[in-house]
């Protein structure tokens, strides 16, 4: 740490959609000293060029080659899949106190074969996976402190696991009858969205894609098994919306006999009673992403349907904040014993 007892950090990938949000929230955090803002383009520019919300004087955009790794406490990596693992492998032994929070998928999947099958990238740091933990903040808590590499979850999986895992743990829902319909703003695809999505009227239409083998399916299955010791079968269908940010997941489940919607809601209320960023709405509350945009909150609503023992769970969050940069900072707060909501006020 620096002489003023602040964490010395670097943000690598500072000018992407997630990176900019990350720098914005970090710039307001009282325990942070930002030493490096790195990117491959726009070297020498001020970060305020990309986001006028950032008022604090910060280092100009520089190359990763300028980093003095031995002086840092923590590195945030907001990079395309496959890049963080290479950087972490090169720097892991340069500074034993250095920790990493990776916002890509590089350390989300424990099995390198499953990672390759889904991302078509051969993992370059297999021996470091044991030093990493997948961390949805509300589900990890104190365990996070035992690891140097913190893997930030995907935005869709965060919105899905937060409501599902407590219910599966308690055995309240049928594990073979789960349908998940998730809709996201296009910022989730990053600045290269036009290379990833080529459908007609990209910014003026909705688009459903990849229902059979979306990359997040293996991530969700892995983490549900780790957290509940139970295997689940579900259908997951993502949609791209013509809006910039926000996610709404609609999760259709069949409850066990004599389990009603109120029991489901009360279970989530109890599970998240000490969680600052989870809001369980009143029963049958209509829900959209509007309330959570530009916040680190996740709102969850339990709604009855016209069929007995069939309910729908709505889960809304901002894909760039609670789904990415905000959760990364929340994980940092847990890692260093800061108040969980520090930097968000």
Our CA dihedral for 79, 194, 114, 133, rounded to 10 degrees, sits at: 30
Mean of pLDDT values over 243-261: 94
- The domain ranges of the chain are 7-153+327-335, 156-322
**Positions of E strands within the chain:** 7-12, 32-38, 61-62, 74-77, 99-102, 132-134, 149-151, 173-185, 207-208, 234-241, 247-255, 278-280, 298-304, 310-317
Sign of the CA dihedral with 73 first, then 59, 17, and 56 last: positive
Higher pLDDT: 202 or 143? It is 143
Which two three-digit tokens encode residue 196? Answer: 């990833």
Question: With bands split at pLDDT 50, 70 and 90, how would you rate the model's confidence at 4?
Answer: confident
Model pLDDT for residues 56-66, shown as the tens digit of each residue: 899 999 999 99
3-state secondary structure of 339: coil
316 contacts: CB under 8 Å, gap ≥ 6: 159, 246, 247, 248, 249, 287, 288, 289, 291, 292, 298, 299, 300
pLDDT of 194 higher than 60: no
Query: What is the tens place of the pLDDT at every residue in 294-305?
Result: 999 999 999 999
Residue 48 binned pLDDT confidence (cut-offs 50, 70, 90):
confident
Distance CA 123, CA 53 (A): 37
pLDDT given at position 67:
94
pLDDT of residue 199: 61
Is a pLDDT exceeding 60 seen at residue 103? Answer: yes
Is residue 155 part of the annotated active site? The answer reads yes
Average pLDDT over residues 138-149: 93
> By percentage, how much of the chain surpasses pLDDT 70?
94
Share of the chain above pLDDT 90, in %: 79
Closest CA to 278 of 185, 325, 340: 340
Distance CA 97, CA 107 (A): 19
pLDDT recorded at residue 212: 73
For residue 214, what pLDDT is reported? 86
**Could you tell me how many residues make up the chain?**
345
Residue 56: what pLDDT? 87
> Which top CATH class is 156-322?
alpha beta
Residue 215 confidence (pLDDT): 87
Give the pLDDT confidence of 109-141 residue by residue, as tens digits. 999 999 999 999 999 999 999 999 999 999 998
**Catalytic one among 38, 155, 298, 303?**
155
What tokens were used for 56? 């604090």
Give dist(CA 280, CA 299) in Å, integer.
Answer: 6
DSSP state of 307: S
The pLDDT value recorded for residue 242 is: 86
Maximal C-alpha separation, the chain = 63
The CATH number assigned to the domain with range 7-153+327-335 reads 3.40.50.720
**pLDDT band at residue 281, thresholds of 50, 70 and 90?**
very high
pLDDT at 191 over 60: no
2, pLDDT greater than 70: no
Phi first, then psi: give them for residue 336, nearest 5 degrees. Answer: -115, 15
């Amino acid at each position: 740490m620096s002489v003023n007892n602040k964490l010395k950090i670097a943000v690598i990938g500072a000018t992407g959609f997630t990176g900019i949000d990350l720098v914005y929230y970090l710039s307001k955090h009282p325990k942070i000293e930002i030493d490096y803002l790195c990117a491959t383009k726009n070297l020498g520019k001020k970060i305020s060029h990309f986001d006028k919300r950032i008022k604090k004087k910060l280092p100009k955009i520089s190359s990763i080659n300028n980093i003095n790794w031995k002086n840092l406490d923590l590195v945030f990596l907001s990079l395309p899949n496959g890049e963080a693992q290479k950087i972490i492998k090169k720097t892991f032994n340069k500074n034993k106190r250095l920790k990493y929070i990776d916002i890509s998928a590089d350390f989300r999947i424990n099995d390198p074969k499953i990672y390759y099958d889904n991302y078509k990238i051969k993992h370059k740091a297999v021996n470091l996976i044991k030093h990493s933990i997948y961390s949805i903040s509300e589900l990890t808590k104190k365990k996070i402190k035992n690891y140097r590499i913190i893997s930030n979850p995907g935005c869709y999986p965060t919105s899905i696991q937060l409501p599902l895992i407590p219910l599966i743990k308690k055995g309240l829902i049928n594990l073979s009858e789960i349908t998940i319909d998730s809709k996201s703003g296009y910022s989730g695809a990053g600045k290269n969205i036009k290379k990833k999505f080529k459908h007609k009227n990209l910014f003026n239409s909705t688009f459903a894609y990849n229902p059979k083998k979306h990359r997040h399916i293996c991530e969700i299955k892995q983490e549900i098994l780790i957290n509940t010791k139970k295997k689940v079968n579900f259908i997951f269908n993502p949609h791209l919306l013509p809006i910039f940010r926000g996610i709404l997941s609609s999760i259709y489940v069949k409850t066990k006999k004599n389990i009603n919607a109120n029991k489901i809601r009360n279970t989530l209320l109890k599970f998240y009673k000490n969680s600052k960023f989870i809001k369980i709405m009143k029963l049958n509350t209509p829900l959209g992403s509007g309330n959570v945009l530009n916040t680190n909150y996740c709102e969850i609503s339990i709604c009855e349907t016209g069929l007995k023992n069939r309910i729908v769970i709505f889960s809304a969050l901002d894909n760039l904040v609670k789904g990415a940069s905000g959760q990364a900072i929340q994980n940092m707060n847990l890692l260093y014993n800061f108040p969980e909501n520090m930097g968000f006020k």
